[in-house]
Amino acid sequence: MKKKVALITGITGQDGSYLAELLLEKGYVVHGLKRRTSLFNTDRIDHLYRDPHDEDGARFFLHHGDLTDSASLLRVIQHAEPDEIYNLAAQSHVAVSFDEPEYTANADGLGALRILEAIRILGMEKKTRFYQASTSELYGLVREVPQRETTPFYPRSPYAVAKLFAYWTTVNYREAYGIYACNGILFNHESPVRGETFVTRKITRALARIAVGLQKELYLGNLSAMRDWGHARDYVEMQWMMLQQDEPEDFVIATGEQYSVREFVQRAAAELGVSIRFEGRGPDEVGIVEHVETHEMRMAPGDVIVRVDPRYFRPTEVDTLLGDASKAHEKLGWKPRTSFDALVKEMVRADYQLARRDALVTLAGFKALEHHE
Ligand code: NDP
Ligand code: GDR
């Protein structure tokens, strides 16, 4: 039987790496679109890559291209002839989208349109299925709790406005041209390979580095923001499931549980055996170490290790998000497998290993060098 072929944009990102792994496990031929960068950007997928010179039957291919460059998209889609396209590429940082609104609109909004147009221009409307990485940020200023597929949208950032354009373009191309095109409205999902500037990873990485003595404090923005956090590994499975149905539909993917940024900090610290209490309000709030269980930690009761820096406040904030994924559960039998506690534990453990390695190199390594001289 002919192997299914998938094209993943954003393959070098968090979700791209988990999805590529899943599709390769399922026997797919996987093509990925990657940007040209001055430094290597394939850390997350290096373990999947096989040099085509070394092996017959390689099933994983990378192509240079960019969502802002129609010609590159046309070329790659024409070459790969994919049965499924997963459009995961985006300037995905909400705060950065306030600094780069035009670029964000171009990549995140028009990017989806360019791919859908390429499918049309190449006459692949009946062959190629399309997944659009839509987001809970579409709900923004929430009008209903919890948020589901029918909840009205109210985007609160250039990122969310761009994603709104892509959402409706996907719906329109489905209705106008009969393309099998779906939106996955995914709530926040994290993992040990989450980008280091998103709040969960920023927290687990910083606490781990404070624990080994590489850093003193962690600066955060709005500690009261509430999010519905799941695990990326569980969510990419749903991206695939959405493209295997008889009819294309849009689905919310979420855990149905909500925590604040402050609670995430406390849970992550607890994983290291440290309890933290918060004192003060607004920009003056601080996180203070209350108790430390093990001698290994470079922290002591009374240490202030978390501070608020208003630089991280957003011009318009999304205060609270909570998803209702019952449609995905009822129609596709999907349920998240990883609990909040298990997610935090996995992230903290991974970052603690990295921090210990860095500490060894930075502290012990330099000492060894000095000794040598
Ligand atoms: P990441 O930021 O980790 O990955 C984004 C990917 O897009 C990277 O591979 C990046 O390449 C690539 N990219 C960025 N700009 C361009 C461009 N102009 N052309 C081609 N590629 C580009 O995001 P995630 O994996 O977390 O998210 C995947 C998708 O899902 C995104 O569209 C995001 O907006 C959306 N989403 C994410 C959620 C989450 O909680 N993670 C929730 C809901 C939606 P490079 O490596 O070179 O930077
Ligand atoms: P979000 O994720 O904006 O929800 O978008 P992020 O982790 O950046 O922020 C979550 C909440 O935490 C607050 N916050 C901070 N955020 C960051 N990044 N850094 C801080 O120091 C900080 N302090 C507090 C934020 O204000 C916010 O309320 C993510 C991205 O993956 C999007 O691409 C995706 O669409 C949505 O999730 C669903």
Domain(s) of CATH 3.90.25.10: residues in the chain: 199-225+260-318+339-372
For 81, list phi and psi in degrees, rounded to 5: 45, 60
Q: pLDDT confidence of 64, banded at 50, 70, 90? A: very high
Pocket residue to mutate for ligand 1, from 15, 38, 48, most atoms within 8 A of Cβ? 15
Q: From CA 31, how far away is CA 85, in angstroms rounded? A: 9
Beta carbons of 115 and 77 less than 8 angstroms apart: yes
How far is the first Cα of the chain from the last one, in angstroms, to the nearest whole number?
Answer: 64
150 pocket-lining for ligand 1 (C-beta < 6 Å): no
Beta carbons of 189 and 229 less than 8 angstroms apart: yes
Q: pLDDT confidence of 294, banded at 50, 70, 90? A: confident
Q: What is the DSSP string of 167-226?
A: HHHHHHHHHHH---EEEEEEPPEE-TTS-TTSHHHHHHHHHHHHHTTS-S-EEES-TT-E
Q: Is pLDDT at 7 greater than 80 in this prediction? A: yes
**Architecture of the domain spanning 199-225+260-318+339-372:** Alpha-Beta Complex (3.90)
The pLDDT of residue 35: 97
CATH annotation of 5-192+228-258: 3.40.50.720
Question: Stretch 248-262: mean pLDDT, rounded?
Answer: 98
Q: pLDDT confidence of 58, banded at 50, 70, 90? A: confident
For residue 46, give the nearest of 8, 90, 84, 11 by alpha carbon. Answer: 11
Q: From CA 145, how far away is CA 329, in angstroms rounded? A: 18
Q: From CA 244, how far away is CA 253, in angstroms rounded? A: 16
Q: From CA 370, how far away is CA 368, in angstroms rounded? A: 5
Q: Residue holding tokens 């590489």? A: 214
Q: pLDDT confidence of 372, banded at 50, 70, 90? A: low
- For ligand 2, atom 27, the nearest C-alpha belongs to 225
CB atoms within 10 A of CB 102: 10
Reported ipTM: the value is 0.99
Structure letter (DSSP) for residue 302: T
Instruction: Give the start-end residues of each E strand in the chain.
Output: 5-9, 29-34, 60-64, 84-87, 129-135, 181-186, 189-190, 218-220, 226-227, 230-231, 251-253, 259-260, 274-279, 286-292, 304-308
Q: Residue holding tokens 């280091």? A: 196
Domain(s) of CATH 3.40.50.720: residues in the chain: 5-192+228-258
89 pocket-lining for ligand 1 (C-beta < 6 Å): yes
CA 94 to ligand 2 centroid distance, Å: 7
Q: Residue holding tokens 């930075």? A: 362
Beta carbons of 269 and 247 less than 8 angstroms apart: no
The pLDDT of residue 49: 85
Q: pLDDT confidence of 261, banded at 50, 70, 90? A: very high
Q: What is the DSSP string of 122-145?
A: TT-TTT-EEEEEEEGGGT-S-SSS
Q: pLDDT confidence of 369, banded at 50, 70, 90? A: low
Q: Is pLDDT at 272 greater than 70 in this prediction? A: yes
Least confident of 19-33, 55-69, 78-92, 223-237: 55-69
* β 5-9/304-308 pair status: unpaired
CA 165 to ligand 2 centroid distance, Å: 21
The pLDDT of residue 198: 98
Q: What percent of the chain has pLDDT over 90?
A: 92
CA 10 to ligand 1 centroid distance, Å: 5
Amino acid present at 321: L
Average pLDDT of every residue of the chain? 96
The pLDDT of residue 363: 74
Beta carbons of 355 and 211 less than 8 angstroms apart: yes
Read off the tokens for 128.
């190629």
Residue 34 bridge partners (DSSP):
64
* β 259-260/226-227 pair status: antiparallel
CB atoms within 10 A of CB 302: 8
Q: pLDDT confidence of 362, banded at 50, 70, 90? A: confident
Note the pLDDT tens digit of each residue in 65-100: 999 999 999 999 999 999 999 999 999 999 999 999
The pLDDT of residue 205: 98
pTM for this prediction: 0.97
CA 11 to ligand 1 centroid distance, Å: 8
CA 173 to ligand 2 centroid distance, Å: 30
Q: Which residues line ligand 2 (CB under 6 A)?
A: 92, 94-95, 135-137, 187-188, 197-199, 202, 220-222, 225, 227, 261, 312, 314, 317-318
Beta carbons of 224 and 319 less than 8 angstroms apart: yes
The pLDDT of residue 187: 98
As annotated, the active-site residues are: 135, 137, 159
The pLDDT of residue 314: 98
Q: What percent of the chain has pLDDT over 70?
A: 97
For residue 234, give the nearest of 85, 355, 109, 338 by alpha carbon. Answer: 338
Q: From CA 288, how far away is CA 207, in angstroms rounded? A: 12
The set of residues, in sequence order, having a beta carbon less than 8 Å from that of 109 and lying 6+ positions away, is: 161, 162, 163, 164, 165, 166, 169
The pLDDT of residue 270: 98
Question: Stretch 99-126: mean pLDDT, rounded?
Answer: 98
273 pocket-lining for ligand 1 (C-beta < 6 Å): no
Note the pLDDT tens digit of each residue in 333-354: 999 999 999 999 999 999 999 9
